[in-house]
Structure 1
């Protein structure tokens, strides 16, 4: 039986409502959002470390090693599936990382011209889970409507997944509802990537993992639109040596 998300962070912006998990918004039906993976593992307590005995690992593969996302998963198009609340294992099993909440070692601080940013409170090895990008999950048509709002545009994340001839798009708007993940800034040379994680449902959680070791005190960043070669007219202040000067 898995527990609820543990998240003790809060917003420095009082106009934003803090949510620990993403929730269903316009354009997302109950059918799309419901839990559906009923084939579960029978591992007891911590467990989920033997791919030959754990149904989840045998079916979807081993995602983590010593609590870190395996390096091949950081760049793979293969989906990541964690154990769900229907499994017999506990929330501390080796295949339950992101659902327990963001890292407890994050700091929200001012980041110059970028506004607020998220900084590492400790050293993070490559593959460390940082946080979900939580907010309002919306459909494509609703996302197009909201693009006219500058605040929404800044906090609207789109992740595309490609599987054979199918493309799955997930939109999360963290402009009015969000968690600590909304404060991660863009960098042209980022140290984090966004990985879709599925836990018992089709719609994934969009999660930040470190793509390289990150030192204590370093700002945690990601590339806003990795699939886009078009840049906006908004200045980029990431400070990277190979900065593109404008945000994607």
Structure 2
């Protein structure tokens, strides 16, 4: 590896190095997967979803119970079939084959669970703190990385949020999944102290990544980031902190959630530089499924 201060930020926990370019390493514990935090009643590492009985190399919709129940999300090489979901009004979560499935580890319905496969580098930006760039080209629809950290309950998320000062970075992502009238699942992920490379991704009002909840072994979703477009080598990777799954602002989607989650919290100025910049960073992430 070349360059001043290069090291593997993951400490060997990822299949491929997460390069860090800098002199002072940020203080946090690197962990590639979600971990159970205060207020989270389900262990994200516990296998809770049923598996298929496929014995083929790769599952097919004709015979796989997972694909028949949840639908096929990936093509034969593991890219999302419907990338347009990033700009649609409804974003459906993805269900992968899991540890209880009989199919092979190379099944095309196993993508996010394989972990990081791209060469990424954490670097210091000019005016937005740390950022992440790719060292190789990324085709549209490719899984890039997960936004992993402590999965915490609402009260703990609220406590941490209110304890922040104007100088603190807000790492908490609040994901709401709407599944029918009155059915809302909330997931709070905070990688401030324990997290992976995803914690360094900056917001952009015109991002090149989008986030989809992906369930593999557990009911607790993995917050997976996919390429919304073809991305060139050395480009910075960004995603829309408000979700980017609708042209509505997150405040318009759920007024009850807005009242309890955003009350008392000051939004920070956005420095993304996009032509459509909203000037203030969004507060939460919403999925309408």
Question: TM-score under structure 1 normalisation?
Answer: 0.88
Q: 1:210 aligns with which of 206, 227, 234?
A: 227
1:26 aligns with 2:38: yes
Q: Does 1:140 align with 2:174?
A: no
| Correspondence for 1:124 among 138, 143, 158 | 138
Q: Distance in 1 between matches of 2:220 and 2:276?
A: 34
After superposition, the Cα gap between the structure-2 partners of 1:78 and 1:14, relative to the gap in structure 1 and judged at 3 Å, is closer
Once the two structures are superposed, residues 26-77 of structure 1 have per-residue CA deviations (whole angstroms, 9 ceiling, x without a partner) of 1112478742212x222236311x2101221111111101311112554443
Q: Is residue 36–residue 44 contact of structure 2 (8 Å, CA) maintained in 1?
A: no
Unmatched tracts of structure 2, length 5 or more: 1-12, 244-248, 252-261, 283-289
The alignment partner of 1:114 has SS state of: coil
Q: Is the 8 A contact 1:132 1:207 kept in 2?
A: yes
Q: 2:97 touches 2:109 (CA, 8 Å); kept in 1?
A: yes
Structure 1 residue 119: deviation in Å? 0.9
Indicate yes or no: 2:279 matched with 1:245: yes
CA distance in 1: counterparts of 2:33 and 2:43, whole angstroms: 18
> Is 2:91–2:212's contact at 8 Å kept on the other side of the alignment?
no
**1:89 pairs with 2:141:** no
Question: Alpha carbon RMSD of aligned pairs, Å?
Answer: 2.4
How has the CA–CA distance of structure 1 residues 179 and 31 changed in structure 2, closer, same or farther, with 3 Å as cutoff? closer
After TM superposition, the structure 1 stretch with the greater mean CA deviation from structure 2, 27-36 or 117-126, is: 27-36
Q: Quickly say closer, same or farther: Cα 1:153–1:170, change in 2 above 3 A.
A: farther
Give how far 1:193 is off: 1.0
Alignment gaps of 5+ in structure 1: none
Q: Is the 8 A contact 1:232 1:247 kept in 2?
A: no
Which whole-Å CA distance do the structure 2 matches of 1:137 and 1:43 have between them? 31
Which residue pairs with 1:16 in the alignment? Answer: 28
Q: CA deviation at 1:218?
A: 1.2
**Corresponding residue pairs, total:** 243
Partner of 2:177: 161
> Alpha-carbon deviation of 1:156?
0.5
SS class of match (1:44): coil
User: Higher mean Cα deviation, 164-173 or 10-19?
Assistant: 10-19
Residue 66 of structure 2 corresponds to residue 53 of structure 1: no
Q: Is 1:70 equivalent to 2:81 in the alignment?
A: yes
